[in-house]
Amino acid sequence: MSTINISIERAKESGVGNIDFNDLPFGKNFSDHMFIADYYDGEWRDARIVPFADFTLHPATSAIHYGQAIFEGMKAELAPDGQPIVFRPLKNWNRLNKSAQRMAIPPISQELFMAALDTLIDIDKDFIPTAPLSSLYIRPFMFATEKYVGIRVAENYRFCIFTSPVGAYYSRPVRVFVSDKYVRAAPGGAGFAKAAGNYGAAMMPTWEVQKMGYDQLLWLDAIEHKYFQEIGTMNVFFVIDGVLITPGLDQGTILEGVTRDSLIQLAQDEGYVVQERDVSVDEVIHAYNDGKLQDMFGAGTAAVVSYIGGFHYKGVDYELPPVEKREVSNKLRARLMDIKSGLVVDKFNWVHHVPVTQSV
């Protein structure tokens, strides 16, 4: 049992009745409450659940000026018995702390993280949607709150979690643009961290390709501009001649995706050959021309498994096989979603069951 003391202030009136659960655009609706803890005098303090509301920030709040901000993405669903469940939350906690270390932010204990998560989801469990492909998106994040203008590690921080009922992130196969003009991350940088600045720097290049009719950028390495890294919203996988391949993490330039890791384990369990290694554009195009590029898909918490309909590189569009003909991604997607929804036996012990204790 957790020893964390979390004070609870309930919203005076619930907004759950104002949400159309049959039409859930991603990231537009929010639940009634949020969790907050503040770091000062060398420790995390004042753990609390409060009504969802705006923050009041000083103009000199250091995160705004110097970018000490990180976040995570998770999802909750309802198991067949009605209990809220969360997929692999300790992986997100571990990655949050890796990002925090890279950005010089104090870590969060596992006990505080899980107590905050369980209490918040329990209170707002009525916001968990039940329609196919829908879920309660969970956004933990941390940022520097010190009121100081100067480039140094801040002394004060805020840890917050809010939730949002959402539908599918992508409703159709995505089209990606392979960029050799811009760089997302370089060895020795912060590419492995889920840091706000990584996404801010990607906004303009992504906007450019979206105006050209593509959904996302597929980034290449910073040194030779020849090896695939990741897509803006997800990790990337290729199936070449029956082998499942995804870029390796050894350079520290790619986000260590929870969905990525889960799919690798599921694929191995299904008997597929899985390789984590450098994947060059030339290799993929040669495989495409030889008829051996059988599948290409993205993987992420928001996107889950997203089929890639085609990719563009140096003036040429490459079209991928129809979704219904993709054995590997279809099988892995179906199995992953069944586990995340509590529909099958969880042999990997990935699903966390949220204790239901709060009454409305």
Beta-bridged to residue 227, according to DSSP, are: 280
Does the global pTM surpass 0.75? yes
pLDDT at 157: 98
pLDDT at 39: 98
pLDDT at 1: 55
Single-letter residue type at 332: L
Calculate the CA 216 to chain-centre distance: 15
- Residue 322 region by backbone torsions, left for phi larger than 0, else alpha for psi between -120 and 50, else beta: beta
Quote the DSSP letter at residue 336: H
> Which domains are present in the chain?
7-168+349-353 (3.30.470.10), 174-325 (3.20.10.10)
Beta-bridged to residue 234, according to DSSP, are: 231
With a cut of 50, which residues of the chain have pLDDT below it? Answer: 360
Residue 95, CB half-sphere, CA atoms under 13 Å: how many?
26
Q: Determine the Cα angle at 137 with ends 131 and 142, to 5°.
A: 175
pLDDT at 303: 74
E strands, 257-314, are: 273-276, 293-300, 304-313
Structure token pair of residue 314:
């140096």
State how far the Cα of 288 lies from the Cα of 317, in Å rounded to an integer.
Answer: 11
State how far the Cα of 35 lies from the Cα of 43, in Å rounded to an integer.
Answer: 17
State how far the Cα of 172 lies from the Cα of 187, in Å rounded to an integer.
Answer: 33
> Is residue 242 within 8 Å of 267, Cβ to Cβ?
no
Please identify which residue in the block is written with the tokens 């979704």: 323
pLDDT at 360: 42
Single-letter residue type at 221: D
